[in-house]
Amino acid sequence: MDNTEEILDLLRENARLSVDDIAAMTRKTPDEVRSAIKQLEDNGVIMKYAAIVNPEKDGEAKDKVRAEIEIQVTPEREHGFDAVADRIWRFPQVKSLYLMSGGYDLKVIIEGDTLKEVAFFVARKLSTLEGVRSTKTHFILKTYKENDIVYVEADKDHRQGVTA
């Protein structure tokens, strides 16, 4: 594995690992690690460091409503799907946006305070966009795993003392 990749993987797993610990784990000097990380940041490989919050345990986030919306779009001759996508991702309510293959074109994840708010947003803002032919809204009921993070009870260390 490439040296920078190894550092990157350690940070992916735990962004708060100290430079000294990473250095000890990868057999580099702290200066080498520091400059490798700086370069990853400067090149935009590392985009930001953020906390991953379990919404079930955060009082504010707990009651938020999330929905996945499937949108069918008529692509534009010049810009394909990008122009309409560009108008969608800028809404702060939009948490994720993907161009999909298959039965529909854009997949949007929306977050709002209430069911009504999300429904309104879809009806007023998304379905009225030029080029949008249809929308299908699915409310998200529970998150089990997202971006490699498991939100439900996962494997624990069950090891007992043995003579191995």
Q: How far is the CB of 19 from another protein (least distance, A)?
A: 13
- What's the rounded Cα separation, in Å, for the pair 88 and 35? 37
Among 3, 12, 15, 25, binds another protein (CB under 8 A): 25
Per-residue tokens: 20: 């000294």
153 binds another protein (CB under 8 A): no
Q: Hunting for tokens 């953020």 — which residue is that?
A: 50
User: Is position 144 an interface residue for another protein (rule: CB under 8 A)?
Assistant: no
List 2, 27, 43, 128, residue binding another protein (CB under 8 A) = 27
CA distances from 11 to 6, 37, 77 (A): 9, 9, 42
Q: Of the ranges 21-29, 39-47, 109-117, 132-140, which one interacts with another protein (CB under 8 A)? A: 21-29
CB of 145 to another protein, least distance (A): 12
Cα dihedral: 117, 122, 128, 134 (round 10): -160
Place of tokens 């069918």: 72
Site residues (vs another protein, CB under 8 A): 1, 6, 10, 17, 21, 24-27, 155, 157, 159-164
